Chain A
Amino acid sequence: MNRLAKTVASVLPARRQVLTPPRSSRISNQLFQLILLGASLLLLLLILTPMVALLLEVSPARLLLLGRDPATWSALRVTAVSSVLSTTLVLLLGLPVAYALSRHLGRGRQLLETVLELPMVLPPVVAGLGLLLAFGRRGLVGSFLLPFGIQLPFTLAAVVLAQVFVLTPFFVKRAALLFGGIDRQLEVAAMLLGAGPFYTFFRLTLPLCRRGLFAETIMTLAQGVGLFGAVILFAGNLPERTRTLSLAIYGAFEQDPEQAFTLAALMLAGCCALLLAGRMLRRSPGNGGGHG
C-alpha cells in the first residue's frame, strides 16, 4: 500500500502539468505551424514568379511575328513528331516491363529496378554522351549499323531514341505502381473463367487502370517535349531535322532573346494545358474509373 501511495504521489504532479499546457509549448506549436505555412508560400512564389515574368514578357505583336516565322513551325513539327513517336515507343516498351515489375517477385526484379533508376539519376548530358558512344558512327552498336546504311546521330530517330532512353524508366516506375494497385485476385478470377494471359491483360488489367495510364502518357509526352541535354548531345541542334522547341529556345536566346521569351511562354501555356488534362484524369473516381 505504502509503495502504491508513493507511486501515485510521484505521478500526480506530472499529470497536473499536462492538464494546463505551459506557454512555451503553445508557442512552439504555433511556431511549427508558421514554418509549414511560410515554407509552402515561399515555394509557391518561387515557382510562380518566373512563370508570371515569362507571361508578362509576351506581346501580341511578338506572337504574331513568331507565327510567321517558318523556323517556329519546323521546330513545332519536330517536337510534335518526335514526342508522339517516343511516347508510342515508351508505351510499347514500358507497359510489358511495368507489368513484369508489378507481378513478378525475385532477384531479377531487383536488378531491373536498379538498372531502371540509372537513367533517372543520370545527368541528361551524360546520357547524351553515352548514347553517342553507343549508337554513334564508331559506337558500340553504331559501327555495326553503319554497313546497313543506318546512321542514328543527328537524325530525328536520335531525338526519339534519346527521349525513349530518358523517359521510359520514369514511365515504367509509375505504371508499375498502377498495375500494383490492381487486385491480383481479379486476374485469377479472369483466368479461372477461361481467359488467357493476353485476354486478361487487355480486357481486364489495362482497362482497369486506363485513366491512370492515360495521365502517365500525358506526363511522358510533356517530359519529351522539354527534354534538352540528351537530345542536343546525341541528335544535335539541326534546324528542320532535330531542332525541337526546347532547342529552338536555346538557339534563339543567343541571337534574339525576345523571341526566346515568346517561345518559352508558348511552351509554358502548352505544359499547363497538359498538366491540367493529366490532373483531371487522375482525380476522376478510382484509378480505373468504372463507367466511362
Chain B
Amino acid sequence: MGDLQLELNHPLRDFELQTTLVVPRGLTVLIGPNGSGKTTLLKLITGQMTPAAGRIALGDLSLCDTSRNRHLPLQDRRIGMVFQDLALFPHLTVRDNVAFGLRAQGVPSRQRETRTTAMLERLDLTDLAAAPVTTLSGGQRQRVALARALAPLPRLLLLDEPTSALDQAGRWELRRWLAELVAEMEIPSILVTHDVADVAYFRKRIAVMEGGRITQEGSYHQLLHAPATPFVANFAGVNFLVGEVLQEPAGTRFRAAGGLDLWAPFDNIEPGPACLTIAPWEVALYRELPGGSPRNVMPGRLQEVIRTAERVRVTLLGSEKLVVELSREGFGELGHPEVGAPLFAVFKARETRVMNIRGRSGQSPPAAVRKGGLS
C-alpha cells in the first residue's frame, strides 16, 4: 500500500502551517512543542479542516488537492484514527464499537462477523466483547479504540497522543501492541506524542514539527547526536548552546552567547550565527582545573542534582547552563558535591557538534540536518 504524501499551506492564528512530509509504511513519531500545528496537521489529513493550498495523497488515492478542487469526504478517506480521548461510542458494546466501521461501510454480515471476531481476538478483547465500553479500564479502552480503527482495514493510521491517559505499565503495553499491529498492517502510521519514551521506543523515524514546519526528520539516534533546534536538544536531553562561529587568525572558535569560547570540529561550517550541542554524558566534572590536552572548559557552580537508579544528572551554571550526566561512582569520586559547589565542566572538542543557524533560530536548519544526514 501507498505512502502518505502531503504538501500543505494553511494559515493559522500565529503562523502559517507549511508542511511537506512523506510518511512511508510503518510508524512515524511526530513530536513538537504545544501549538506547533500537530493537531491541525492531523485535522487537515482527516478532512476535518480544509487546507488553504496543497495536496494530500495516500499512494494513488488523492485525499485532497486544492489545485483540482478535490476534497474527499471524511468517510471515503479510509483513515483509522485513535483520538486522544478515544471517542469510543458510549452506547455500544466492545464488539459493536469494533464492528461499527464495517457495518457503516456495508460489509456483508458474515464477513463482518469474521473480521470483528478476528480483531477482538488479535487485541485480546474476546472476553470483553459483550461488555459496554463504559465499564472498561483505561488500557482496555485503548485497545478497543485501536481495534475499532483497524477493523475496516484503513490505509493510514493516525494516533493522537494515545498513551497520554495511561499509567506507565499501560503505556508500555500499548506500545507493544502498536508496534506489532503497525508492522502487520503494513500501512503508514503517524503517532503524535509528548512522551520521550514513545520516541525512544519507536526510534526509527521521528519527525519534529515547530511553528508549522517540519524542522527535523530522522532516527532517534540522529536527533540525539545532531539536534537541529533547541526543542529537539531539549527533548533529547542534549545541551544546546546558541552563539556564533568566529574565524580569526588564531583559529576558528565557537563563542557562546554568554561569552565562553569553545573548540569544535568546524567541517563545512561558515562563520556566523551557529549552535553547538554536547551530550550530557560526554561532559566530565572536576573539582580542580585539569592540565593536559586543550579541551573545552566551563567553570560554574552546581545548581541541581537529580539521582536516578544508576546515574546522576547535574546542572552546572556558569556563563552557560550545562547538563552533565555521570555514574553514581563518578559522582562519589567527586566527593558528593553540594549545590553551590564550584566545579569545572570539561569536554572534548570532537564530541561537540556545531551547526550554522540561518534566519530565526529553530526555523530553518541546514539542509543536511533536515535530511537526517550528519550522523
Give chain B nearest CB distance to A206 CB in angstroms. Answer: 10
A207 near B91 (CB under 8 angstroms)? yes
B134, closest chain A residue (CB):
A290
Q: Judging by beta carbons under 8 Å apart, are B79 and A192 in contact?
A: yes
Q: Which residues of B contact A186 (CB under 8 A)?
A: 87, 89
The answer on a CB contact under 8 Å between B75 and A196 is yes
A203 at the interface (CB under 8 A from B): yes
The reply to whether the CB of B235 lies closer than 8 angstroms to some CB of chain A is no
Q: Collect the chain A residues with CB atoms within 8 Å of residue B132's CB.
A: 290-291
Q: Mark B56-84, 1 if CB is under 8 A from A, else 0.
A: 00000000000000000111111111010
Once A188-B74, A191-B74 are accepted as A-B contacts, the answer to whether A290 and B91 lie under 8 Å apart by CB is: yes
With contact pairs A183-B87, A185-B87, A290-B91 given, residues A194 and B104 touching in the complex (Cβ less than 8 Å): yes
Interface string of A116-150 (1 = CB under 8 A from B): 00000000000000000000000000000000000
Q: Mark B35-57, 1 if CB is under 8 A from A, else 0.
A: 00000000000101000000000
Check A194–B105 contact: CB distance below 8 A: yes
Chain B residues with Cβ under 8 A from A190's Cβ? Answer: 89, 100, 104
User: In the bound complex, how far is the Cα of B85 from the Cα of A196, in angstroms?
Assistant: 22
A-B pairs, 3 with minimum CB distance? A193-B101, A195-B104, A194-B105
Complex Cα distance A146/B76, Å?
Answer: 49
Whether A192 and B91, one on each chain, are in contact in the complex, defined by CB atoms closer than 8 angstroms, is: no
B152 contacts the other chain (Cβ, under 8 Å)?
Answer: yes
Within the assembled complex, what's the spacing in Å between the Cα atoms of A127 and B104? 44
Report if B90 contacts A (CB, 8 A): yes
Q: Is the interface of A mostly helix, strand, loop or mixed?
A: helix
Set A195, A200, A288: member contacting B91, Cβ < 8 A: A288
**Interface presence of A189 (CB below 8 A):** yes
Of A193, A207, A288, which contacts B104 at CB under 8 A?
A: A193
Chain A 24-43 interface mask (CB, 8 Å, partner B; 1/0)? 00000000000000000000
B87-108 interface (Cβ within 8 A of A): 87, 89-91, 100-101, 104-105
Are B87 and A191 touching (Cβ within 8 A)?
A: no
Determine whether B148 belongs to the interface, using a CB cutoff of 8 Å to chain A.
yes
Residue A96 CB within 8 A of the other chain: no
- Interface class of chain B by DSSP: mixed
Query: Which of B73, B83, B91, B134 is A189 in contact with, Cβ under 8 Å?
Result: B83
Closest to B76 in A: A194
User: Given contacts A193-B101, A194-B76, could you give 18 more A-B pairs where the C-beta distance is less than 8 Å?
Assistant: A183-B87, A189-B83, A190-B89, A191-B74, A192-B74, A192-B77, A192-B80, A192-B81, A193-B152, A194-B78, A194-B101, A194-B105, A195-B104, A196-B75, A203-B104, A204-B89, A286-B90, A289-B91
A164 within 8 Å of B (CB atoms): no
Q: Which of A188, A196, A199, A286 contacts B46 (CB 8 A)?
A: A188
Mark A residues whose CB is within 8 Å of B: 183, 185-186, 188-196, 199-200, 203-204, 207-208, 286, 288-291
Chain A residues positioned under 8 Å from B79 (CB to CB): 192
Contacts of B81 in A (CB 8 A): 189, 192
Chain B residue contacts of A192, Cβ below 8 A: 46, 74-75, 77, 79-81
Q: Is the CB of B90 within 8 A of A288?
A: yes
Residues on the A chain within 8 Å of B76, using CB: 194
Closest B residue to A196 by CB, please name it.
B75
**Of B87, B101, B134, which contacts A188 at CB under 8 A?**
B87
Chain A residues, Cβ within 8 Å of B77: 192
> Could you say which residues of chain B place their CB within 8 Å of the CB of A185?
83, 85, 87
Q: Given contacts A191-B75, A290-B132, is CB(A196)–CB(B87) below 8 Å?
A: no
Quote the shortest CB–CB distance from B355 to chain A (angstroms). Answer: 40
**B73 partner residues in chain A, CB cutoff 8 A:** 191
Q: Is the CB of A195 within 8 A of B89?
A: no
CA distance A100 to B75 in the complex (A): 20
A-B contact pairs, 11 of them (CB 8 A): A186-B89, A188-B48, A190-B89, A192-B46, A192-B77, A193-B105, A194-B78, A194-B101, A208-B90, A288-B91, A291-B91
CB distance from B20 to the nearest CB of A (A): 24
Are B100 and A195 in touch, CB under 8 angstroms? yes
CB distance from B160 to the nearest CB of A (A): 10
Residue in B85, B90, B91, B148 whose beta carbon sits within 8 Å of that of A193 in the complex = B148
Interface hits, B135-151 → A, CB 8 Å? 148-149
Give the one of A200, A286, A288, A291 with max B CB within 10 A: A291
Q: Which residue of A lies closest to B78 (CB)?
A: A194
Residue of A nearest to B90 (CB): A290
User: Does A195 contact B75, Cβ atoms closer than 8 Å?
Assistant: yes
Q: Measured between C-beta atoms, what is the minimum distance from A105 to chain B in Å?
A: 15
Q: Which residue of B lies closest to A189 (CB)?
A: B87
Contacting residue for A196 out of B83, B100, B104, B149, CB 8 A? B104
* CA gap between A286 and B134 in the complex, in Å: 11
- Chain B residue numbers with a CB within 8 Å of A288 are 90-91
Q: Which residue of B lies closest to A191 (CB)?
A: B74
The interface centre, meaning the residue of A183, A189, A195, A290 with most chain B CB atoms within 10 A of its CB, is A189
Nearest chain B CB to A204's CB is how many angstroms away? 6
Instruction: Assess the A193–B87 pair: CB atoms within 8 A.
Output: no
Tell me the minimal C-beta distance from B150 to chain A in angstroms. 11
Which of A185, A200, A207, A288 is packed against the most chain B CB atoms within 10 Å? A185
Residue of A nearest to B80 (CB): A192
* B149 neighbours in A (Cβ, 8 Å): 193
Q: CA A199 – CA B134 in complex, angstroms?
A: 22
Question: How far, in angstroms, from A291 to B149 measured CA to CA in the complex?
Answer: 23
Rounded to whole Å, the gap between the CB of A202 and the closest CB of chain B is 11
Q: How far is the CA of A188 from the CA of B49 in the complex (A)?
A: 12
Residues of A within 8 A of B134 (CB): 290
Cα–Cα distance between A183 and B48 once the two chains are bound (Å): 15
Residue of B nearest to A285 (CB): B134
Question: Would you call A194 and B90 a contact (CB within 8 A)?
Answer: no
